[in-house]
Amino acid sequence: QSFRPKALVVPVSKDVSTLQYVTRIGQRTPLVPVSLVVDLGGQFLWVDCEDPGYVSSTYRPARCGSAQCSLARASGCGECNSSPRPGCNNNTCGVIPDNTVTRTATGGEVASDVVS
């Protein structure tokens, strides 16, 4: 099964108070509604999966050296010193996604999950 999406079409609206484009998607298994800012200047679609409420039976971290890591231009191979969970797995490729709106960055792991 390919990890490359065929397409994702979502309704987008502009938040009048922040002037940012926003949308809602379903993510995870079981599906959970998630509000997102659509960052057309960013490289990744990213969410905070280290949130204790992030539970998904379809979350799959990308292993170091995988095609997913190569496509994401991963910056290294990560380790985590606690029990495995979304956002904290061993032998996963790391990225440093940046938020072009707030001009901040954070460390993370490349992973796949269900999006609809």
Domain encompassing residue 107: 12-112
Q: Which SS3 state, helix, strand or coil, does residue 86 take?
A: coil
Q: Are the CB atoms for 111 and 59 separated by under 8 Å?
A: yes
> Two tokens at 80?
């985590």
Residue 5 in any domain: the answer is no
* Structure confidence by residue, pLDDT tens digits, 21-66: 888 999 999 999 988 888 777 777 667 666 777 889 999 999 999 9
pLDDT 10s digits, 80-89: 888 888 888 8
**Look-up: residue for tokens 């057309």?**
40
Q: Give the position of tokens 């938040």.
A: 15
CATH number at residue 23: 2.40.70.10
Q: Does 106 reside within a domain?
A: yes
In a domain, 2, yes or no: no
Whether this prediction's pTM lies above 0.85 is answered by no
Domain count of the chain?
A: 1
